[in-house]
Each structure stands twice: as structure tokens, then as C-alpha cells.
Amino acid sequence: MPSPDRDDQLHLAAFVTAGPGRPGGWRHPASVSDWRSAAYYRRIGRTLERARFDLVFFADILAVPDRYGGSPDPQLRHGALGSMRLDPTPVLGVLAGATEHLGLAATVSTTYAEPYSVARSFATLDHLSGGRAAWNVVTSFQDAEARNFGRETHIDRASRYLRAEEFVRVTAELWDSWDDDALVLDRDAPLFADPARVHRVDHHGAWFDVQGPLNVARPPQGYPVLIQAGASPAGRDFASRWADVIFCSHASLESARDFYADIKGRAAAHGRDPREIKILPAITPIVADTTEAARAKSAELADLVVPEAGLSTLSYHLDIDLAPFPHDERLPDVDVPGVQGHYQEVRELTEKHGMTLRQLGRRYGGTHEGDFVGTPREVADGLEEWFTGGACDGFTVTAVYQPGAFDEFGEGVVPELQRRGLFRTDYEGTTLRDHLGLARPTAGEWRRRAAREDTP
């Protein structure tokens, strides 16, 4: 049934780590190990574009996590999620040249970067790609990251969201510092850029002092697409005001539905049309020709995950050292300074399936969010149920092994979704905003999205 909050067709993002990805996945015979080569990313980009994905998204962190037992060893030994990550921004430069339609998203932290450099990188990428850039705005959550940037500990959640608020606002002002028609290119006059249409920003705030203007013309999309994944109340509030796309992760349809209603409600309360925000929960489908083969593959992948690999990732996600907890007992209730969304997910798993910490480690390391395991038709049934059931506007697809699982999804599940009229058969526009059905922001749009009390 069509919903006033949702498009008729779903949107697809791909979640890629510029490294080995899933702890068991890199050990699977179908995975390819040249994560350090441009060819590897070109191949993934072309696969996703053939499957008509909206965008590819590169997650990123700024440390080798050491929260589990105070050491990075388990992450490194097991090729866990945080073991190796190339810097995603240059990787997107490679992809901009290898693809024509695919949206290109990289993660940059507002806690450790500066607005001028972020505005400049994403404006550059938006020009180079013809309007396909997106920025995943994160605030980071690990002390290990703080220690790489001259601090002992990470700043508290409230302060980091205040900094993020000011950061995004200044970045948007910098994108607006060139009027859309500022670049004149009149050779005879001569007039390269009209100085009257290029403005200083003169921002002076609690965290940043930025004069401007930017030294790059206004991006083709006005603002590159903004992605956020806040899960705490402060994070949800920030995301529902600023984000065009929201990433989240859920262990069940019910929790996905609650989150969806909460974010759309918050967006409406901030005066936004709920359709302006696309909520794309992460899923890790396992696809095979028969149900039995998919289940066997799932079991085979689970066997490749050493519990410590998943627990060391969960430790840094929750910002809790899980090494001293008894591994043959359930995870007790704990106060989580780290990612609340991941905690809710593992609490749900612990309670629903009575998992011990060791089982949880194996499960978390091989995460199959949403339990979409089966034939292309069965997986499409599950996705359709979430989409039509008010749980999402589409999905962020993670590969159990890279890059093969993207091929399987693109060649099996996508045609099934297309047959049902749930997904595009071709791109209709050229920019990422076109794919997502989002309007190009006019200059000054940041005023509408900023926290009201902060807006002058």
C-alpha cells in the first residue's frame, strides 16, 4: 500500500569497507583479496552500477580498534572489521572515473576534520563525478581514534553532536559561498568569476572560525547528499534535521519499524517533509539457488568467524572491554558509552535466542542483519515485507564476502525486485539527488535545517 511517507520504489546503497570487510568473509574461497588495488574498487563499482544501485558507501574509522583486552591483536589477527581500512576519499576518486551513474559516499568524522577541508573535498568530488557525491557525517566513538589526534579520550556525546551541528552548518555555508552563477568564464571581458557573487562566510562559533569563501564553485548538487546514522536521542535529532539518507541497523522488522516512525516523526516536527529523508537499514543477505544451499552457505560462513573477532568488533562498537566477561554466559545489562543502536541489536539477539557471549561474538562477526538468507525470491520476499511494512525506504546492502556477494545480489535479488516493480530498471537522472528523488537545495537551505536556537 503506498504510504505518504515513502516512495513507490525502494533505494539501494552498498556498504563497502576498503579492506577485508567481514571477519569470516575474507577467509571464504569466493572472496578476492586485492583490497589495496584500484581494480578491486572499479570492479565493485561496475557491478553495483549494472544492478542500478543508488550509491556505494565506504565506512571509515581512524584507528585500529584496541578496546577488547586493550589490544589491537584480535582485530589484526582475524581480519576483523577494523583491521585495515584504506582512506575512502581517494577510493571514490577512482570510482568517479570508473562509473557514470552510481552515487559515491565516503565517511568523514566531524570530530577530527575541519569544515573547510571537508567542504572542499566533497565539492571537488561532486564536480568530478557530475553530481554524485555524498558525505556520511559521523562523530566517531572510540578513544583509540582520539589518541591518534592528540587527545587521551573521545569527547562526550553531547559535545560531539554540538560540534557536528556547527561543522555541518559551516560546511553548507561554504558550499553556498559561490552563487550558482558566480563562474562566468567570459574570455573577452575578461571575467572569470564575478566577485560580487562569491561571498565570505565570516563564521565565528564555539568550535570553528572560518572566513571563506571556498576555493571551489558551488557543487552541482548544491550540497552533496548528507548521510547520517545517529541512534541516540541526540544523534536521531541531528540526523532528522540534516540527513538526506539515514543508515541504521536492526535485528528485527519491529525495531526497524519503530526507528522509522520515530525518525519520520522527528523530521516532520522539524518542519521537513518526511519523504526528504531516506532510511536505509543495513542488511547482509546470503543468496543461493536453493534454500538449503543458502542455509549451508550461512553455516559455512559462521564457521569461518572466530568468536573473538566478532567480540573485538562489538567491544569497540559498544566502547566496552568484553574480554573480562564470562564468554559462556549471556551479556548482562550494561551502560553503553558507544553505539546505542548496536547495543539494542545485540540485546535483542541475546534475549530472543538466549545466546552466550561466545555465540554472540560469532554471530556479530558474521552479522546477517535482518536474516535474509535464501533464494533470490525468498530474500526479495523479506525485503518487500520490510519495505511495504513501514520499516524502511530501501536497504544498505553489506556483502558477506567481497565482491562476490554483490554479484549474487545484483544478478539474483535485484531482477526479482524489478519484476515486482519495487526497483528501477534504469537510472532516470544523472545526479545522486535524482536517484534518491531529492530536490537540489537552494543557497541558504542550511538555515532551514539548522537547530532553531542556533539559527541567527
Binding-site residues from annotation for FMN: 60, 107, 161, 232
Footprint (CB under 6 A) of ligand FMN, residues 271-290: 282
Judged by CB, which is closer to ligand FMN: 184, or 269? Answer: 269
| Shortest spacing between CB 335 and ligand FMN, in angstroms | 13
Please identify, among the stretches 37-45, 75-83, 184-192, 226-234, the one whose residues bind ligand FMN according to the rule CB under 6 A: 226-234
Is the CB of 109 or the CB of 375 nearer to ligand FMN? Answer: 109
Q: Least distance in Å: CB of 109 to ligand FMN?
A: 6
What is the DSSP secondary-structure string of 142-171? -HHHHTTTT-SSPPPHHHHHHHHHHHHHHH
Does position 339 interact with ligand FMN (CB under 6 A)? The reply is yes
For residues 116 and 67, is the Cβ–Cβ distance under 8 A?
Answer: no
Which residues on neighbouring strands pair with residue 248, listed in sequence order? 281
From candidates 12, 48, 123, 248, binder to ligand FMN by CB under 6 A: 248
Binding flag, residue 138, ligand FMN (CB under 6 A): yes
Q: Provide CB contacts within 8 A for 233, sequence distance 6+.
A: none
Instruction: Scan residues 392-411 and list those touching ligand FMN (CB under 6 A).
Output: 396
Q: Is 139 in the site for ligand FMN (CB under 6 A)?
A: yes
Residue 235 CB contacts under 8 Å (≥ 6 apart), including other chains: 139, 157, 161, 228, 229, 340
The residue among 138 and 349 lying less far from ligand FMN, judged by its C-beta, is: 138
Residues 6+ apart with CB under 8 A from 226: 134, 135, 137, 168, 242, 243, 244, 245
The stretch among 127-135, 247-255, 290-298, 380-388 that binds ligand FMN (CB under 6 A) is 247-255
Assess contact for 341 and 93: CB atoms under 8 A: no
* The three three-digit cell numbers of residue 247, written as one number: 543508515
User: Among 12, 51, 56, 59, which residue sits at the site for ligand FMN (rule: CB under 6 A)?
Assistant: 59
Rounded-to-5 percentages of helix, strand, coil across the chain: 45, 15, 45
Q: Does 230 bind ligand FMN (CB under 6 A)?
A: yes
Using the rule CB under 6 A, which residue among 60, 173, 237, 434 binds ligand FMN?
Answer: 60
Tell me the window of 29-37, 55-63, 371-379, 425-433 that interacts with ligand FMN (CB under 6 A). 55-63
Yes or no: say if 26 and 36 are a contact pair by the CB < 8 Å rule: no
Nearer residue to ligand FMN within complex by CB, 138 or 267: 138
Closer residue to ligand FMN (CB): 60 or 416: 60
| 107 forms part of the interface with ligand FMN (CB under 6 A) | yes
Q: Whose Cβ is closer to ligand FMN: residue 65's or residue 412's? A: 65
CB of 228 to ligand FMN, least distance (A): 7
The reply on whether position 365 binds ligand FMN by CB under 6 A is no
Are 85 and 91 a contacting pair, CB within 8 Å? no
Size of the site for ligand FMN (CB under 6 A): 21
Please identify which residue in 140, 171, 298, 367 interacts with ligand FMN, judged by CB under 6 A: 140
One-letter identity of residue 32: V
Residue 231 within binding range of ligand FMN, rule CB under 6 A:
yes
DSSP letter at 230 equals -
Among 48, 56, 61, 216, binds ligand FMN (CB under 6 A): 61
**343-381 per-residue burial string, b: 16 or more CB within 10 A, e: under 16:** bbbbbebbeeeebbbbbbbbbbbbbbbbebbbbbebbbe
Q: Which stretch binds ligand FMN (CB under 6 A): 28-36, 291-299, 308-316, 338-346?
A: 338-346
Rounded to whole angstroms, what are the CA distances from 7 to 104, 333, 346? Answer: 21, 38, 30
C-alpha cell at 47: 557491478
198 vs 231 by CB, closer to ligand FMN: 231
**Residue of the chain from 159, 232, 356, 418 that contacts ligand FMN (CB under 6 A):** 232
As a whole number of angstroms, the distance between CA 306 and CA 421 comes to: 40
CB 228 within 8 A of CB 239: yes
Q: Are 227 and 57 in contact (CB under 8 A)?
A: yes
Q: How far is the CB of 71 from ligand FMN (least distance, A)?
A: 20
| Residue ranges in contact with ligand FMN by CB under 6 A | 59-61, 107, 138-141, 229-232, 235, 247-249, 282, 339-341, 396
